[in-house]
Chain A
Amino acid sequence: MSVENAIKYVHWFSRIPHLSSKEKLRLLEIFADEETIFTMKENRLKQHPKVAQRTKEILLAARKDTEWEREYDRFCQSGIRLIAYQDAEYPKRLTHIYNPPYCLYVKGRPLSEERKCFAVVGARACSSYGAAVAKEIGRQLTRAGVDVVSGLAAGIDAAAHAGALEAMTAGRTLDERAPGTMTAEAGPGGGLTGDGLAEVGIPVAVLGCGVDICYPAANRLLYQKLARAGSLVSEFPPGCAPKKYHFPMRNRILSGLSDGVIVVEARERSGSLITADLSLEQGKAVYAVPGRISDSLSRGTNWLLSQGADVFCSVQEFLQEQGILQGENLAEGRKIEIPLEKNERLVYSVLDSTPKHFNFIVEETGLCLPQTAELLLRLRKRGCIQEIYQNYYIKISI
C-alpha cells in the first residue's frame, strides 16, 4: 500500500470518538498500523485477546462509517495536512509529554523544532495593559527568532498572536527592501537576511477545534493571517466543533510544543494556570509577568511567582536568560529617546500603562482641551502613546 493511503487511515483512526489518544497509541502497539485495524477480518478483531470488549465495539462501529474518506479528501484539498505520530514531522517535544496527541492536523507552515518556542498565555478578559504587554512580548520574541505559541483565544492570546504577526510582516518588508540578498525560498523564518538580522519566529496557534474552524469568530482576521503566515495546529479533526473539555486538552499541546510558558495576566484558578501546571509537569519553564497586588487580573500570575515561577521583567532579560541573546543589544527602535517639547513631556508624564481618560489628562496638566487633543495626537503619531479605546490613552513602553 502506498504511503498516501496509509495516512488516510490515520485520519479514520483519529476521528473515532470515545477513544483517547493514549488508547489509540496503545492499539497501534498491538496492531501494525491503522490500515490493519480497518481491513482485518471482523472475527479476528472480535477474538483478539489484547483488546477490551468496549474498544472492539467502538472499532467495529467506526469501520462501518463511510463519511471519513470523503472528509479526508476535502480537507487535503483545502491545504490541511495530517501528521501521524510516527511521522518525521511530528514534533519530538510532544512525544516526551504524558499523553501525547495521537496525530496533529496542521494548516499553514510546517512546525519547526530548530527554533526556540515559547507559549504566551493569559486571560481572555484581559486589561489593556495586559494586551499591550502580550503584544510586545509576541513581537519581540518573534523578532528574536522565537516561535510564539498561543491558543487563539480572545484577550492575551490574540494580542500575542497579533504582536508576532506584526514582527513577521515587519521582517518581510525588510526582506523586500533588500532583494537579492537572500534566496527566493528563504522567507521569514529561513536563513539570515542581508541586514544581518536573525531569522524571525513563526507564530503558532493551537486550537481546541478543527483547524478549519475559527473560534472565537471574532478572531477571524487573526485566524486568516495565521493560516497564511503561521501555523494552526490541532489534534481534533477538521470540522470538529469546539467543546468545553477540548481546551484543557489543547493546553497540554500548547505547553508540550514549547520550551516554556509565559503567563501574562491570569485570574485566580483560571485556565492559564492549568497551562502553567501542565508545563511544570512536563518539566518546562514557567514565567509570570508580575502585576500590582490589587489587580484581580494579576492575582494568578503573582500566585505563580510566589510558588516559584520565574519572573518575567523584560523581554531583554528573558532572552538573555534563555540564551537566545548573548549580552548583545536587541535592535530596537522603540527605546531610542525621542526628543519631546515641554508640553508634550508634560502630557506624556501624566500617562502610564493603565488607560487614562482625556479628562484626567486635562485635569492633571491644566492645559486647555484643544491643546491637549493636539498634543495627544502628536504623541500618538510618534508612537509614544496609544489610544486604547476612544478617549482613553496609555503609554507605550515595556
Chain B
Amino acid sequence: MISTASVHGIASMIIQVEADVSNGMPSFEMVGVLSSEVREAKERIRAAIRNAGYLLPPKRITVNLCPADVRKSGAGFDLPIALAVLCAHGIVPPQKPGHTLFVGEITLNGALRPVRGVLPMALAARQAGIRAFVLPVENAREAAFVKELAVYPAADLSSVIKHLNGQTLPEFTTINIEETASDLSAGVDFSQISGQYTLRRACEIAASGMHNLLMVGPPGAGKTLAAQAIASILPPLNEEEMLELAGIYSVSGLFAERKKQLYRRPFRSPHNSVTKMALLGGGRIPRPGEISLAHKGILFLDELTEFERPLLEQLRQPLEERQIRLVRQAGTYCYPAEFVLVAAMNACGCGNFPDREKCTCTPRQIRQHLGKISRPLLDRVDLTIEVPKVTMADLLSHSENESSEQIRQRVIRAHEIQRKRFAGFKISCNSRMRAEFLRRFCPMSEGARKCLAEAYEELDLSARAYHRLIRVARTIADLDACEEILERHMTEALLYRSMDEAAYRSGV
C-alpha cells in the first residue's frame, strides 16, 4: 500500500495505491475513477521501470487507487503507482500505509518531474499523521514549509527504490525562508512618482485600509505606475496568510513565481482581453483565477472600460464575499479571493476630458464611456480620484519624494491599529466594515458629524456612499493614530468620494 495525494481545489486528499500481480493474460489494468493523464501512467511506468534496470515478468498487473469514488487527476500518481507495482513484485519492501507520502511524475528514463499542488498535499499529509514525503527535487521547497514532515527530494525512480531498500536519500533541511522571502520590493517605488499629491495619498489610504481604488485620468498621468507602487507599500503577509497564498500558487503550478518573495503581497494585472475562466478561475476541474492569485494583494485592472462588461459584473460577488465558489459537475470549488481592486480608466474615449481644449468627445460619448462601468461595481469602490496630467513643474522638480519604505511604515502602523480593533471579529481591515461595525468602531467628533451631514445633503449621497465615506475617514484617522474621526479626516475623505453621477456629470 503506497500513500499519495490528489488535489481538489486548494485542498488535498490522501489516496492509497495498491497493486496485485497474478497469473493470466499479461496485462496492466488500473482502476479507481482515473482521468486520462493518470491512465497514461502505465506506459510511462513500464518504460521507466525497465530503464531503471528491473524486468517485470509478463503477468497480469492490477492497480487500484482508493478511495474509489474520488476522481483522480494529475501526473503526480506516476511515482506511487510505479512503487506499488514494484512492491507487488517484491523489488521494494512493503510499505506501511500512512508512513510516507510519494508524489511525482516519471519520464520514460525514470527521472522525476515536478507536479502542481505539493504544498496542500504536505498540509494534508501532516493532518493525516504522515511523517515523511518523497517527491521531485523541484518541489522540495514547497513541502518544506510543513516543518513536521521529513522531506526527501529524489531525482529519479532508482534513487527512490534505493531509498526504500535502506539507502536513505539525504533529507531536505536547508529551509531558511527569512533570508530571501522577506524581500518586499516591487520593482516600482513611490519615489519615482513626482507631484500627484492626491494620487500618492489615495494609494496610501487604499493600502492602509485595503480599500478598492479607482483612478480616472488622461493617458500618461502615472496611473499604472502608481498601481504597481501600491504593491510596494503593502505590509508583509503573516505566516498563516503566506501559507494560504503559497497553497494557491502551488496548485496553480506558479509556486516558482513566489519562491523569492514569499511574504510580499501579490500584484496581478491581467490584460483587458482576459477571459472569464482566467479571471475567476475555471476549467472542468477549476484552477484558481487571477482574482484568487491576487488574494491578500492587489488585482489591477488597467483600462477598466475596455474589459467586457459582463466580466466586470461577475467581480461583484467575489468583492462582497471575498471568495469565489465555482460549481462544476465534479463538485464545488471554493477559492479565497480577498483582493484589493485597483482600477484605472480614462474619463472619456479620447482620454483628455475634462480638458475641453483637447477633448473632442461629445457629451453623449462621455456619458457612454462612463456608462461602461456599472453603478453596483462603482458602489464597491471606496476611493475614487481624478488624476491630472503630470505638470512640467513636477517633471523638473528635484525635490525628494517620499520612498515606498517610509510610506510602508505608516501603512503597517495603520494595519496594526486595525488588527487590534478587530481582534475577535471576522474582519481584519476597515474596508470590510459593515453598517453595524461602523456605528461601533467609528466614533466621530461633532465637527466630523456635521461635515458628513452637510455633504450628505449637498451631494445627495446614497446610503452606500455615506458608509463609504465613514470607512475611508476611519482609515485616514488610523493613519493619524486618532481614536476619534475628526473633521479634517472627514473633509479629506470627501476628496476621494465616488464618481457620483450628479456631481461628475454636471460639467458634461
Chain A positions within 8 Å of B, measured between CB atoms, are: 124-128, 131, 154-155, 216, 218, 294-297, 355, 357-360, 362-363, 369-371, 373-374, 377, 381, 387-392
Contact = CB atoms under 8 A, between A and B. Distances in A.
A373 B385 contact: no
Interface stretch (B135-143, B317-325, B360-368, B416-424): B360-368
7 contacts: A128-B507, A154-B362, A154-B508, A218-B367, A370-B488, A389-B386, A391-B198
Interface in B265-324: none
Given A357-B388, A363-B197, 11 more contacts: A125-B356, A125-B362, A128-B507, A355-B354, A358-B197, A359-B198, A363-B391, A370-B476, A374-B487, A389-B386, A391-B386
Given A128-B356, A218-B363, A358 B393 contact: no
Contacts of B384: 390
A391 B364 contact: no
Contacts of B363: 124-125, 154-155, 216, 218
A377 B451 contact: yes
A131 B487 contact: no
Contacts of A373: 488, 491-492, 494-495
Contacts of B508: 154
Interface in B438-487: 451, 454, 476, 487
Contact of B504 (A124, A126, A362, A389): A389
Contacts of A125: 356, 359, 361-363
Interface string B338-363: 00000000010000001011010111
B454 A381 contact: yes
A124 B487 CA distance: 39
B434 interface: no
A373 B487 CA distance: 11
Given A131-B507, A154-B364, A392 B197 contact: no
B364 A218 contact: yes
B195 interface: yes
A392 B487 CA distance: 21
A358 B198 contact: yes
B195 A363 contact: yes
Contacts of A377: 451, 491, 494
Contact of B492 (A296, A355, A370): A370
B503 interface: yes
B198 A389 contact: no
A35 to B, nearest CB: 43
A360 B362 contact: no
Contacts of A369: 197-198, 201, 492
A390 B503 contact: yes
A172 to B, nearest CB: 20
Contacts of A296: 357
B252 interface: no
Contacts of A391: 198, 385-386, 388, 495
A359 B388 contact: yes
B428 interface: no
B497 interface: yes
B154 interface: no
Nearest to A159: B506
- Which has the most chain A C-beta neighbours within 10 Å: B367, B391, B504, B508? B508
Contacts of A216: 363-364
B396 to A, nearest CB: 12
Nearest to A374: B491
A390 B362 contact: no
A395 to B, nearest CB: 15
Given A369-B492, A389-B504, A389-B507, A126 B356 contact: yes
A182 B359 CA distance: 50
A392 B356 CA distance: 13
Interface string B361-381: 111100100000000000000
Contacts of A371: 488
Contacts of A370: 476, 488-489, 491-492
B107 interface: no
- Which has the most chain B C-beta neighbours within 10 Å: A154, A355, A357? A357
B1 interface: no
Contacts of B199: 359
B492 A390 contact: no
Contacts of A387: 503
B106 interface: no
B173 to A, nearest CB: 51
A228 to B, nearest CB: 19
Contacts of A390: 216, 384-386, 497, 499, 503-504
A366 to B, nearest CB: 11
A215 to B, nearest CB: 11
Contacts of B386: 357-358, 389-392
Interface string B31-53: 00000000000000000000000
- Which has the most chain B C-beta neighbours within 10 Å: A124, A126, A294, A370? A370
Closest 8 CB pairs of A and B: A357-B388, A391-B386, A127-B356, A154-B363, A374-B491, A128-B507, A373-B492, A377-B491
Contact of A358 (B487, B488, B495): B495
B454 A374 contact: no
A389 B354 contact: yes
A355 B355 CA distance: 9
Contacts of B385: 390-391
Nearest to B499: A390
A216 B505 CA distance: 14
B158 interface: no
B354 A374 contact: no
Contacts of B198: 358-359, 362, 369, 391
